[in-house]
């Protein structure tokens, strides 16, 4: 059944360069400063009136240390937004910034504002996984609620009979697509310079099947998942402008895409990477669409095994998937990835053509999150 979303639009997208944690060029940048610089860049790029922004909704997977307190409110101060703009920090692990977009869209549909900035940030250098002081509930340990992400990828590889070579081929393709996009300048417009850093640092053009074949399994000594087929620990921030269509048109903003469907789903933590399957199907149904109607698919590559399991389950056409590379090549700064892939999907609809796009991702703990967009003409 088609459920109308109302006229909620995306009118801007920006991100920082994504660089390797602990050794990349953003390792010395505080996450609040990183997000603040991206928001500044987004305001300038989109041409919005900062005084009209109702709320900054900022996702972060491990909101402690330098990305703790109410991070979003602190970023309001650092980004040049006025004191009148609110700030709220949300956490849905890897989907935190896609949740921020959903929250902004829901607020607009309920009449609780016209203009929002939704995004996310993660410095995996400054706040390592799983945070500084995790205090796990013993009863949840018994049901694998805290299972390591790499082990969930191994579980999916076994369940879906995904070979190591298949994973390495997908990883190689991700790096090749990202390197080509970088060389052709197709990533330049989305990246805001932060401390002079404007080039992604996780892309490895020298990657080959031969080099990956020599890597040891990363999570299970008898397993098939390696560092080469996993997204790297990454520092980065991203954000999008979310507003009502009426506001966009009355303020002459560039409408990139309409939000047509949103969904969350849950699954077993032991196979959390399959989460995008159900959430994507729900979001598509709410948009009145089928997967065959989708022209652009941005799916977060947490692991090649995880992505391939979703590709097989959904029947995804690989030619539509992550056409400028995915997180294995670009990086996965947890709280920032959801707004990156959604903003990227909106951007690709404008630059590459097509009518509909899907952004979708898995979430630690066993969830999926998905957004359907329609190109604005």
Give the active site residues: 94, 332, 362
Say which DSSP state 118 is in. Answer: E
In the block, tokens 């920006």 appear at 14
Closest alpha carbon to 19 in 351, 332, 368: 332
CA 286 from chain centre, in angstroms, equals 21
Q: Are 263 and 369 in contact (CB under 8 A)?
A: yes
- Cα dihedral across residues 276, 122, 58, 181: positive or negative: negative
Q: Give the alpha-carbon dihedral of 91, 94, 95, 97, to 10 degrees.
A: 70
| Cα–Cα distance for residue pair 11/5, rounded to 1 Å | 17
Return the exposure string of 252-279: e unless at least 16 CB atoms fall within 10 Å of the residue's CB, then b.
ebebbbbbbbbbbbebbbbbbbbbbbbb
Dihedral (CA of 175, 176, 178, 184) sign: positive
Separation between Cα atoms, residue 202 and residue 163, nearest integer Å: 24
Beta bridge partners of 239: 14, 119
- CA angle, corner 99, sides to 98 and 104, nearest 5? 100
Asked whether 324 and 348 are in contact (CB, 8 A), the reply is yes
């Amino acid at each position: 059944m088609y459920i109308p979303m109302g006229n909620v639009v995306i009118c801007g997208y920006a991100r920082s360069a994504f660089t390797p944690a602990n050794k990349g060029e953003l390792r010395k940048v505080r996450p609040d400063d990183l997000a603040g610089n991206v928001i500044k860049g987004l305001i300038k790029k989109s041409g919005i009136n900062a005084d009209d922004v109702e709320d900054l909704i900022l996702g972060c997977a491990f909101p402690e240390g330098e990305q703790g307190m109410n991070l979003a409110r602190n970023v309001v101060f650092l980004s040049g937004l006025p004191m009148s703009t609110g700030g709220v920090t949300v956490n849905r692990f890897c989907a935190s910034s896609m949740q921020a977009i959903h929250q902004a869209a829901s607020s607009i549909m309920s009449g609780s504002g016209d203009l929002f900035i939704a995004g996310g940030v993660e410095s995996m250098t400054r706040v390592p996984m799983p945070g500084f002081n995790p205090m796990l509930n013993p009863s949840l340990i018994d049901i694998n609620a805290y299972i390591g992400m790499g082990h969930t990828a191994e579980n999916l590889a076994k369940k879906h009979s995904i070979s190591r070579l298949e994973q390495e081929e997908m990883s190689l393709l991700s790096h090749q697509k990202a390197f080509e996009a970088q060389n052709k300048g197709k990533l330049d417009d989305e990246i805001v310079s932060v401390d002079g850093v404007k080039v992604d640092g996780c892309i490895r053009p020298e990657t080959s099947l031969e080099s990956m074949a020599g890597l040891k399994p990363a999570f299970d000594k008898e397993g098939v998942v390696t560092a080469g087929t996993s997204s790297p620990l990454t520092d980065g921030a991203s954000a999008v402008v979310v507003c009502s269509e009426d506001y966009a048109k009355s303020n002459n903003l560039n409408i990139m895409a309409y939000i047509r469907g949103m969904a969350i789903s849950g699954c077993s933590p032991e196979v959390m990477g399959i989460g995008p399957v159900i959430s994507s199907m729900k979001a598509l149904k709410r948009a009145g669409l089928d997967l065959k109607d989708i022209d652009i698919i941005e799916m977060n590559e947490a692991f090649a095994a995880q992505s391939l399991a979703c590709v097989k389950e959904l029947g995804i056409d690989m030619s539509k998937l992550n056409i400028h590379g995915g997180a294995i090549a670009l990086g996965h700064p947890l709280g920032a990835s959801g707004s990156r892939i959604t903003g990227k999907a909106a951007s690709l609809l404008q630059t590459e053509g097509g009518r509909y796009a899907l952004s979708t991702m898995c979430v630690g703990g066993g969830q999926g999150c998905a957004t359907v967009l329609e190109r604005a003409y």
